[in-house]
């Protein structure tokens, strides 16, 4: 079908274009830890396969065919993450690298059966939505915690940073998916945030943490 490298480029372009629409060569190079010249080579190949729209110097976007492949890989990634956490008892900060390998197992039937085995979960352990077998999914309207105001209340529903250190920090602070929080104070000076957890526990987080925590109102 497609090579490992091709799949990784498509997935990367998909994620980057969520923010930007059109994605630049340098963005891809930075995201994949490779060089811009390598990216250019691959873009030509993907354009030949009609998986991306590409004109020299003008950046790229996915074609419908390319997007379909990317979403399929993301579906696999998130289902395997769910499996690793729910069935094999891994922590949410341990599963990313394993899922990064498992997302390239090719069988569609395998992933559909895995989906069924787990009861068609709607979200992965980090709160990201899992596309269904047709690639459909709706991403909830989430806002960074940093955009809330005092007394606003919401449910932790996602993260913008998937790194282990960040996830471990959240775990320690009990700031995990599904928890309800209420903003009690916002410090003008450094934009840090004080908030109340369910058991009335008060905690205080930096602006950066608040920026990377996504809340459903």
Min CB(117)–a second copy separation in Å: 6
Binder of a second copy out of 41, 101, 171, 198 (CB under 8 A): 101
Binder of a second copy out of 84, 193, 205, 210 (CB under 8 A): 84
Rounded Cα gap, residues 206 and 212, in angstroms: 10
Binder of DNA out of 10, 14, 51, 59 (CB under 7 A): 59
> Among the residues of 87-199, which ranges form H helices?
96-102, 108-117, 164-172
- Is 51 one of the binding residues for DNA (CB under 7 A)? no
Burial class (CB in 10 A: 0-12, 13-18, 19+), 49: middle
CA-based nearest residue to 183, from 150, 156, 145: 150
- Is 163 one of the binding residues for a second copy (CB under 8 A)? no
- Is 187 one of the binding residues for a second copy (CB under 8 A)? no
What mask of x and - would describe binding to DNA in positions 4 to 33, judged by CB under 7 A?
xxx-----------------xxxx----xx
Rounded Cα gap, residues 124 and 141, in angstroms: 16
- Is 3 one of the binding residues for a second copy (CB under 8 A)? no
Strand partners, 180: 155
Binding site for DNA (CB under 7 A): 3-6, 24-27, 32-45, 54, 56-59
């Amino acid at each position: 079908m497609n090579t490992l490298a091709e799949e990784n480029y498509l997935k990367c372009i998909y994620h980057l274009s969520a923010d930007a629409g059109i994605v630049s060569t340098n963005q891809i190079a930075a995201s994949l830890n490779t060089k811009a010249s390598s990216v250019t080579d691959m873009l030509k190949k993907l354009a030949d396969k009609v998986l991306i729209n590409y004109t020299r110097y003008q950046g790229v976007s996915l074609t419908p065919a390319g997007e379909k492949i990317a979403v399929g890989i993301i579906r696999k990634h998130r289902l395997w993450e769910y499996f690793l956490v729910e069935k094999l008892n891994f922590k949410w900060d341990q599963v990313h690298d394993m899922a990064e390998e498992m997302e390239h197992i090719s069988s569609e039937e395998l992933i559909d059966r895995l989906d069924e085995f787990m009861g068609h979960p709607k979200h992965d352990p980090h709160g990201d939505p899992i596309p269904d077998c047709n690639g459909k999914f709706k991403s909830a309207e989430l806002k960074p915690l940093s955009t809330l105001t005092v007394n606003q209340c919401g449910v932790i529903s996602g993260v913008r940073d998937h790194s282990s250190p960040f996830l471990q920090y959240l775990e320690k602070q009990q700031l995990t998916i599904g928890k309800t929080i209420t903003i009690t104070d916002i410090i003008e000076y450094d934009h840090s945030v004080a908030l109340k957890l369910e058991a009335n526990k008060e905690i205080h987080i930096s602006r950066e943490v608040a920026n990377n925590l996504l809340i459903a109102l």
